[in-house]
Structure 1
Amino acid sequence: MKDTTKHPCFNKENAGSCGRVHLPVAPKCNIQCNYCNRKYDCVNESRPGVTSSILKPFQAAEYMDAVLEKEPRITVAGIAGPGDPFANPQEVLETMRLLNKKHPHLLFCLSTNGMGILPYLDDIAELGVSHVTITMSAVDPAIGAKIYSWVQDGNTIHYGEEGAKLLLDRQLKAIKGLKDRNIIVKINSIAIPGINDDHLLEVAKVASELGADIQNIIPLKPTADTLFADIEEPNHNLIGPLRKAATPYIKQMTHCKRCRADAVGLLSKDQSASLCGTLQACAQHKPLELEKPRPYVAISSREGLLINQHFGETKSFYIWGEDQKGNFSLIEERKVPPKACGPKRWEELALLLNDCRTVLTAAIGETPKVYLEEHGISSHTLSGLIQDGLEAVYHTGNIESLKCRRAGIAGGCQGTGTACG
C-alpha cells in the first residue's frame, strides 16, 4: 500500500523531504487559456507550460531512472504538460504503464484542465494514479468565457460561453468520477484580478460539494504574448484573504511553486536547471529495438498487390525485403495471432513485427501507432501499389507522395484493441 501523504504538493508537511518529477510527455492542449503561452524548448522561465524538451514515453521512463539515481528523495512522478495529459492520452497512459512496471513504489499524479479525462478514468485508476489536479477557475460560464479563448472537443472548437459551459460540465463530472474511484483531487484556481477574483469563493464551495480534497488558489503570472499579459500579478493582499475565505469550505494549499512542466526535485530545491542536460539527452534516445537489424517492411493488404487494408483489420501481414541488388521480394505472409483486448493486442503486434523497420497501411489508430513507435517501428498511411511503397521506403524516401488521401478512415478510431486499430 502506497503512502499517499508523500506527495509534497498535497501535503505541506512533507514538502521538505519528498520530491517530485514532472515528465513532459504531453505537448498538445485542448483549450486555450488567455494567460497561457506554452514553450517546449525554454530553459529560462519558471512557470507552468514551459519545458526544455518533450519526451516520448520510453524516454520518460529512462529519464525517471536517471533522476532517481541522482535524487532518491523523489516520491512522485507527475505529468503536467506542457499541454494537457488528455490531449495526449496515449502517450500519457503508456508513460504511466512503463513507470508502473519499473517504479511501482512511486505515487503517480496528473494535472489536467478536465476537458478530456472522462473516457480515461478507469484507465488511470487501474494504473494506480493516486492524485489528480484539475484547474478550474470558474463555475459560471459567463466568467469562464473571459478566461478561455476556446475549447476543443474532438474535431470541434467551441468558443465563448458555449465552450466555457462544456468545459465546466466536463470538470464537474471529472471531479465526481475521480472521487468515486478514491483518487485524491486538488483544484487549481487561477486568481485573475478583475476577471474572477470575486468569484473564487464560489469555486471553492462547488469543489467542496463534489468532494475535492484541497484547493490551490494561484496568483496569475502575467505572460508575454497572451491576452492577460498586461494584467498586474495579484499580491498576497489579494490572495491571502481569498484563501482565508475559502478555508471553511475546503483545505487550502499555501506552498505552491508554480512549477514548470519539467520540474524535478524538492519544492524548496528545484533541480530543473541541473538536470536539464539529462532531460535533453534522454529526449534524443532511440528505442532499444532500433539497435536490432530491421531489414523488412510490413504491408497491410487485402490481396498482396495494393496497400489497402486497415492496420487493426489485418489478418496477415505481407513481409517484404530487399536483396543486395535492390530488388524486392516477398519474404512471407505473417499471420496475426487471435485478437487480444486492449493494450495487449498492440503489444503483441509490435512484437510480431519486431524485425520490420516500418508498416505501410491504409489507416492506423493513434494507440497502435504509439505502441509501434515504442518498439522502434514507424508507420505510414498510404494508398497505391505495394511496389511503389517499397520503392519509397528503401530507395527514394518520398513517402509523402503516396500518403493516403482517405486518411480520415481512422480519424475517429482510438485504437481500443477491440476491433480495428
Structure 2
Amino acid sequence: MVEKPTAAAHPCFDVKARHTHARVHLPVAPKCNISCNYCNRKYDCVNESRPGVCSALLSPYQAVEYLKELDTHIEKLSVIGIAGPGDPFANPEETLETMRLAKAQFPDKIFCLSTNGLNLKPYIDELALLNVTHVTITINAVDPDIGSSIYAWIRHEKKIYRGRAAAEIIIKNQLECIPLLKAKGITVKINSVILPGVNDHHIEEVAKMVASLGADVMNCIPVLPTKDTAFEDIDKPSGPLMKEVRKVAKKHLGLMTHCSRCRADAAGLLGHDFTEAYGMLREYAMRPLKSTDDRPYAAVGTREGALVNMHLGEAESLYIFKQTPSGFQFIEERVTPPAGCGDSRWKDLADSLADCRAILVEGVGAKPLKILQHAGIRVIQMSGIIDEGLEGVYYNKEVKAVKMPDAFKCGDSCRGDAQGCA
C-alpha cells in the first residue's frame, strides 16, 4: 500500500520542509482568464524569478516525461504543482490530464495547484478525486471597488468584463470556492499581493473574510514591479509596511512567511532552484506532444542517405528509417507534398508521417514546426550523420542542434525571406 504524503512534506506549507523537501511546477497552463495590473507572463524566459514566467511550455505528456527524469536528479521531490504561467483553470483540459498522468506515475507525491479562482469551482470534485491536497487561491481584495483597480479585465463564460463588474464576479467566485474545497478536505492557502496605496490597507479585511470561510493559511506577497504592466512604477512595499500587513493578517489565520515567489517552472528546494531543470525542460518541450509508442519510424531530410543535410522546405522527399536489433534500417523514400499550398502542405505532410515519431532536418520554418509538433512528431534540427540523429530519437541521446539562424537557410534553391516555408 502506498503511504499517503503528509502536509509536513510540502515546503510551502511547512517552513521546516523548505530545507528538506523539493517541489516542481509543471508549465502546462499558458492561457489566463484575467489580466492583473501587476502581471506580465513570459513563456521563454530564464532570467526572471517570479510567477508568470517559464523557460518553455509543455504538453501533459511532455510534462510527465520531464517529471520522470527530474525525479532522478532531485532528492525528496515531494510536491508536483501547476501554477501557470497562466491559470490552471483557463486551461482545464491540460491541467487535469497532467494531473491524471502524473498521479498514475507518482501516486506517493503531493499534488497542488495555484489559481486565481475565477474558474475553479466546476473542477473541485475532480480535484478531490485526483487527491489534490493543496490549493492556493490568489485573492487581492474582497471589496469590488478595490479589486477594480487591480484587475484590468476578466474572461468569464466567454464574455469579457471590466471594472467593478469584473471585480464583483472574480471575488464572488473566489470566496465560494473556499468552503467547497474545505468540504473535500483540501488545504487552502490564500495569496495576496501587497500593492502600496491600492490594497495594503485592505488586507486585514481579506484575512478576516477568508478565515471565516475556512482558509488554512495566508501568504502576503510584496508586489514585484514588472516592466510593461500598469503597475510597473508602483513602489515596492517597505519592510515596515509588510511587517504591519502581516501583523494584522495574523490576527485571523496563520501566515506563510517564507515564500520564494516561484516561477511557473520552478524545481528544487525553495530558494535553491535546480537551475539545470530549465535546460531539461526546453529539451522536453521539443519532444513529441503525445506518446510515440505506436510510431516506429523516423523521417530524415537527406540528399544522399548518409547525412542530415536538407531544410524541410526544400525536401521533395524524406527517407524513412526504423530501429532494429542490428541497428537503424532504411525502409523507404516518401514524397513530400508540393510547395505553395500554405498550411495544408504541412498538415498533409503530418498526415503522411503519422507513423513517424520524429523528423530530422537541417532547418524548418516556424509554421511547419508548430504543425508537426501538434501532430505529435518531434522535430530535430541538426546537421550531420543520420545515425547520430536517430540515436537521439530512439535512445534520447543529446543531439547537437544547428544554430537557429542557420535553420532558416534552405540553400541556393530557396526563394524565401527567412520567415518560414509556404
Q: What amino acid does structure 2 have at the position aligned with 1:200?
A: I
Q: Residues 213 and 251 of structure 1 are in contact (CA less than 8 Å); yes or no, is this contact kept in structure 2?
A: yes
Q: Against the structure 1 CA distance between its residues 97 and 235, is the aligned structure 2 distance closer, same or farther, given a 3 Å change threshold?
A: same
CA distance 1:59–1:205, change in 2 (3 Å): same
Query: Could you tell me which of 270, 279, 282 is aligned with 1:280?
Result: 282
The answer (yes or no) to whether the contact 2:141–2:199 under 8 Å persists in 1 is yes
Partner of 1:158: 161
- Distance in 1, matches of 2:292 and 2:231, equals 46
- The aligned runs of 1:135-214 (5 Å cut-off) are 135-214=138-217
Say whether the 8 Å CA contact 1:108–1:131 is kept in structure 2: yes
What is the SS of the residue equivalent to 2:5?
coil
Give the alignment of 1:18-417 within 5 angstroms: 18-271=21-274, 273-286=275-288, 287-289=290-292, 292=295, 376=376
- 5+ residue gaps, structure 1: 295-323, 327-354, 359-372, 378-421
Extract structure 1 runs of 4+ deviating beyond 4 A.
355-358, 373-377
Query: How far has the Cα of 1:235 moved from its partner?
Result: 2.2
The Cα of 1:80 is off from its aligned counterpart by 0.4
| 1:258 counterpart SS class | coil
Spell out, residue by residue over 1:221-242, the C-alpha distance to the aligned partner (whole angstroms, 9 max, x if none): 0000000000011122111111
TM-score (norm 1): 0.70
Q: 1:325 to 1:99 in 2, by over 3 A?
A: closer
Could you tell me how far apart the structure 1 residues matched to 2:182 and 2:205 are? 20
Q: Which residue of 1 aligns with 2:5?
A: 2
Say which SS state the counterpart of residue 198 (structure 1) adopts.
helix
Q: Which letter does structure 2 place at the counterpart of 1:51?
A: C
Q: Distance in 2 between matches of 1:293 and 1:280?
A: 24
Using the TM superposition, give the Cα deviation of residue 154 of structure 1 relative to its aligned residue in structure 2, in angstroms.
2.4
Q: How many residues align?
A: 309
| Preserved CA contact (<8 Å) 2:61 2:291 | no
* Alignment gaps of 5+ in structure 2: 298-333, 337-352, 357-372, 378-422
Superposition CA RMSD, Å? 2.5
Alpha-carbon contact 1:24-1:81 (below 8 Å) kept: yes
User: Counterparts of 1:244 and 1:374 in 2: how far apart (Å)?
Assistant: 50
> What secondary structure does 2:46 align onto?
coil
In structure 2, give the amino acid aligned to 1:275: A
Q: TM-score, normalised by structure 2?
A: 0.70
2:53–2:264 contact (8 Å) kept in structure 1: yes
- TM-aligned CA deviation for residue 357 of structure 1: 6.7
Please tell me whether the aligned partners of residues 220 and 233 of structure 1 are also in contact (alpha carbons under 8 angstroms): yes
Q: Deviations over 1:318-355 (max 9, x none)?
A: xxxxxx999xxxxxxxxxxxxxxxxxxxxxxxxxxxx9
Identity among equivalent positions (%) equals 50
Counterpart code for 1:144: G
Amino acid at match of 1:78: G
Q: Which amino acid aligns with 1:7?
A: H
Alignment partner, residue 368 of structure 1: none
